[in-house]
Structure 1
Amino acid sequence: MKLEHYDLFIPFYSSTYTSKFLLGKYEQKEITQAKTKSYQVSSSFMYHLQHGQLYFKQAQASPIEIKPVLLFYGYVQMLKACILTTNPNYPENSQVLAHGVTTRKRKKATYRFLEDEVKVQKNGLYSLFLDKMFHMKHLEGEKYQMVSLLLQIADMHELFLTLQNKKVSIKGSGNVKVNEIEIPSAILDLYHMTSNRFEQYLESLNPSYKGVKVIEQRQNLIIKFKKFPNKLHSFPFLFNTKEEIFIFTERQKLSDGSLPELATHFLLLYNLSMICRYEAEWWGDLIHTFDGVDYPFIAQYVNIVQNKIPSLIYSYLLG
């Protein structure tokens, strides 16, 4: 029988297990007083995780009108648990308690969600978790458009094909045991590259792909990695909820998809939660009139994310 996502975390609801788990994380990072801090932090870690799951469980039973708020705040709680595995002193000041992103406060009459943007601020949870969890620095003032963020979610690609007649990606297959991904060799024509140039392209996008080898074999490319791509940050490869692998049909610039998937979800859910809290009229009209194409994208995304985020968080915690 398949476990529900909120059962994945059951082992963490033991202070003995969680203290030992945190101790291992802190010793790995050579944090001083690791044993004392792992004991002190274990309760906070467990409560953040539990509160996050309660929000997600409630979201699954709630109408779409309020789902984004529940999902965003549940996600924030889970992220705080993740940060505690790398920084036992969180939160160190009030600045890190802000969300760290902002959006347009007033929506125009012609507003469309897919065209909306969020902007990164200097301080807050967003920049903190990028730094602590993925060792990435963000650029203050950087903007991300909703349609660009949705394109980074492989589970959304079928809907792009249906609604916009846009084939966003092609499917590959992976073999974790031998650190290989196999994709159709047609990608070389789509990218206007040789296999050698494709190797260089992959290395330029992701430091963990250094030393990658691309071998042409009949109709496919065999891509050999030193270490199999981490689904939490695998650009330009994308993993869907079923762990299937995709690559974009169009060559992507680093700025188009360099974010880990967890960062993409943060930006999308932040904006959706702000809209359904502060743009009640537009949000109500969207849900009840089915105007334009925004609603299918939002509804599909919300359905996907309520299962996918707990799975990604679990993967992060287990390393």
Structure 2
Amino acid sequence: MYQVVHTIMCENPTKKMWDSYLYFESEPTTKAFLQQTYEKLNIPKANVYAFQNASKFIYYIKQARQYYVSAVNSDLLVQPLLLYYGMVSLLKAYILTRDPDYPSNTRVLQHGVTSRKIKKNYYSLAEDEVKVQKEGLLPYLHSFLSKENLKEKYRIQSLLAVIPELQPAYQKLYKQTSLIPVSLSSHRNYEKLCTIFYLPESVLDKVHLTYNGFIHYLNRYNEGQGVFLPSSLEVPKGIIRLEWHHPNQIHVTESGDGFANKLFLHDYKGNFFYKIKMETDYNISEIVNHYMIMYVLGMLCRYETERWGEIVFSFMSEDMYMIQEFLTLSARKFPNLVYDLLLEERHIFQTD
């Protein structure tokens, strides 16, 4: 999906990321971008659609920016709602690049998900669920991101489990490990086009496989041209050494799709993680993941105001720790994910 990786060194990654969106707030550049995008998709009358949609696209981006700015400067009592609608504006801009007639009907303007009505006195975010509807923004967005079907319901803890940056908080709060950091060798082998990396030996116990069986298991989930191979060199006890070979990529950090394997994820700094469980709950686009979690928090904020206030302001809820971590992360990462989608390139904004 992503052609290349761009690492942008800067003093303020969040500011630099949003400054990069200014490219889409100019009518001439937006028209050219939309026309090029539509032509790549073989959409007839690409120039006409680009002219018609330029202003709409620009206002989606500008509105999203204002939602995010307002959210960062707002009280936690209303922050999830502002972030959610910022997400929606960004996603509408992306969908417009895939469907020049969007919105063609009112059904695609619905949320596309519902959350269950809270009846119990006790509330746990981890145990809450989100239900996917047949029509609306979420399923329509998903149709452009993946060929796999969405499940009917998702448990929030399962969604939190596969967000790399939340793993330290996830382990502290839920006493479980769902992602394992991958240790990459920075060595570039220009002859073999090979990336060497390390994992703790305990991963073999978790999947009940031998070293060679584990490599075969990894290769089952490849989605690109890369393949995993064993390493003949000895390593210290407690870790395993593996190789990732690609016909065109010198190193995995230079690959737009990373390992291009369902078992591996990466954070917004470019670090990689191995996914311990391979289940349907753990195998959706991170953009869809963020959307569903933020929807639940937004609905709590909007319709369960008293309970939301208790979560935010009392010392009785363990959810507050994870909620604060997620809101802070999503405010930074989600616009980055959409920016990558729009340009079909990964962008890592890092401090000097």
Structure 1 residues 15-94: aligned runs within 5 Å: 15-94=27-106
CA contact (8 A) 1:275 1:283 kept: yes
User: Which one of the candidate residues 12, 21, 30 is aligned to 1:2?
Assistant: 12
Tell me how far 1:165 sits from its aligned partner.
Answer: 3.5
Tell me how far 1:214 sits from its aligned partner.
Answer: 2.6
Match of 2:8 in 1: none
User: Which one of the candidate residues 179, 184, 188 is aligned to 1:169?
Assistant: 179
1:258 and 2:315 equivalent? no
Q: What are the Cα deviations for residues 252-294 of structure 1, in whole angstroms up to 9, with x where unaligned?
A: 2340311010000010001100011011111111111122321
1:277 and 2:302 equivalent? yes
In the alignment, the residues of structure 2 paired with residue 179 and residue 20 of structure 1 have an alpha-carbon distance, to the nearest angstrom, of: 38
Tell me how far 1:115 sits from its aligned partner.
Answer: 0.3
In the alignment, the residues of structure 1 paired with residue 261 and residue 91 of structure 2 have an alpha-carbon distance, to the nearest angstrom, of: 19
In the alignment, the residues of structure 1 paired with residue 187 and residue 283 of structure 2 have an alpha-carbon distance, to the nearest angstrom, of: 22
Tell me how far 1:11 sits from its aligned partner.
Answer: 1.0
Match of 1:117 in 2: 129
2:160 alignment partner AA:
L
CA contact (8 A) 1:198 1:214 kept: no
1:119 alignment partner AA:
K
- SS, match of residue 154 in structure 2: strand
User: Which one of the candidate residues 193, 210, 215 is aligned to 2:209?
Assistant: 193
User: Which one of the candidate residues 297, 302, 306 is aligned to 2:327?
Assistant: 302
CA contact (8 A) 2:170 2:177 kept: yes
Tell me how far 1:317 sits from its aligned partner.
Answer: 1.1
Q: What are the Cα deviations for residues 206-263 of structure 1, in whole angstroms up to 9, with x where unaligned?
A: 5x24652233353421223466362698632122232211113x3x234031101000
Match of 1:313 in 2: 338
In the alignment, the residues of structure 2 paired with residue 49 and residue 30 of structure 1 have an alpha-carbon distance, to the nearest angstrom, of: 24
2:46 alignment partner AA:
A
Tell me how far 1:129 sits from its aligned partner.
Answer: 0.6
1:232–1:222 CA distance, 2 compared to 1 (3 A): closer
Structure 1 residues 219-298: aligned runs within 5 Å: 219-225=240-246, 228=255, 230=257, 235-248=262-275, 250=276, 252-298=277-323
User: Which one of the candidate residues 132, 138, 143 is aligned to 2:149?
Assistant: 138
Give the fraction of aligned pairs with identical amino acids, expressed as a percent: 33
In the alignment, the residues of structure 2 paired with residue 91 and residue 176 of structure 1 have an alpha-carbon distance, to the nearest angstrom, of: 48
> What root-mean-square deviation, in Å, do the aligned CA atoms of Structure 1 and Structure 2 show?
2.4
CA contact (8 A) 2:265 2:273 kept: yes
1:154 and 2:164 equivalent? yes
Q: Which runs of 5+ in 2 are unaligned?
A: 1-10, 250-254, 345-352
Q: What are the Cα deviations for residues 62-83 of structure 1, in whole angstroms up to 9, with x where unaligned?
A: 1111110000000000001011
Tell me how far 1:179 sits from its aligned partner.
Answer: 7.2
Give the alignment's TM-score, normalised by structure 2: 0.82
In the alignment, the residues of structure 2 paired with residue 192 and residue 87 of structure 1 have an alpha-carbon distance, to the nearest angstrom, of: 45
Count of residues in Structure 1 that have an aligned counterpart in Structure 2: 314
- SS, match of residue 213 in structure 1: strand
Give the alignment's TM-score, normalised by structure 1: 0.90
1:263 alignment partner AA:
V
Q: Which runs of 5+ in 1 are unaligned?
A: none
Match of 1:183 in 2: 198
Choose between structure 1 and 2 for higher RCO, CA contacts under 8 A separated by at least 6 residues.
2
Q: What are the Cα deviations for residues 70-103 of structure 1, in whole angstroms up to 9, with x where unaligned?
A: 0000000000101111111111111101111111
- SS, match of residue 221 in structure 1: strand
Match of 2:5 in 1: none
